[in-house]
Amino acid sequence: MSSSPLTVLVTGASTGLGLALTKQLLPLKEYRLILTARKSSLARFAAEGIVENERVWLRPLDVTLAEERVAIINEAEERWGGVDILVNNAGIAYRAVVEHVTEEDRLRQMDINFRSPMELVRLILPSMRAKRQGRIINVSSAAGMMAMPTMAVYSASKFALEGATEALYYEAKPWGIKVTLLQPGFINSSSFENVRFTDSSCKSLQDGTDAYSSYYNYMGPFIGRIMRWTWATPEKVAAKLVKIMRQKSPPLRVQATPDVRLFAMLRRFLPQRLYHAILYYNLPHIRDWVPRLKK
């Protein structure tokens, strides 16, 4: 990397992990920052005391809009010579069983968590290849390694992101471009409260007689409890992101929280049948998910 400030583009920078990363990058003079969020979320920067200056841009970016993606990359190339480090952090999560996900829901989830990050990657690659250097960090999830009930389409989007990023790792490496997947698991934050429901999953949650209502009523609080109890925080995960940005040779995958490391170890060493049985029988009140048949 050159000695001049490196340009870092962070998506979803106004909240959660993105905001924690922003706060850790702001004092680091070796970076120029392009901090993005949806237009409706830009006010959060001011609320956190984050303002523009000669090395910090605040820009609206809906990652699903092609014209906004192109505009921000073009501006970075014209004014700062392109993006040196891309952190694809923006994302959403739908809570719904497979039967409650329509094609429209599925495409929306995939668009934000998979298609749009890869489009940003595609846009910044020519500049990185010309400079023979650069870093791409795609924020994945434990859900990109394992799936949970009621989170099928979210896992699908992260599995897709992981597969494409692994291929990109091999494609970009000869050009001197470093590619990494960050895999956070449960983080002690209120982000679980922002999960989205499809129309069908919302109706099921509210209707106690629906076939899947118990799935939502057990899984939601279960995930909430874990996220309140875990000692992993957005700040700790953000610190790992900064470390990746500074590593000479970062690995393809970085397991960012203890639970991800545990599940990765179990998945690696346990027989597949036993691994899935352990996870299944540790789901909350799994025997009560479906009404018992009357004799």
Residues serving a catalytic function are: 140, 154, 158
- Report the alpha-carbon distance of residue 205 to residue 217 in Å, rounded: 7
What the block records as the tokens of 288 is: 């009560």
- Report the alpha-carbon distance of residue 220 to residue 214 in Å, rounded: 10
Among the residues of 193-285, which ranges form H helices?
A: 199-206, 213-229, 234-246, 258-269, 272-281
280 vs 14, 277, 285, CA distance in Å?
36, 5, 10
Residue 89 identity: N
3-state secondary structure of 185: coil
- Report the alpha-carbon distance of residue 153 to residue 15 in Å, rounded: 23
- Report the alpha-carbon distance of residue 165 to residue 69 in Å, rounded: 19
What are the residues facing 178 on neighbouring strands?
Answer: 135
Contact of 13 with 21, CB cutoff 8 Å: yes
Q: Is the dihedral of CA 129, 130, 135, 136 positive or negative?
A: negative
- Report the alpha-carbon distance of residue 103 to residue 264 in Å, rounded: 31
- Report the alpha-carbon distance of residue 163 to residue 114 in Å, rounded: 10
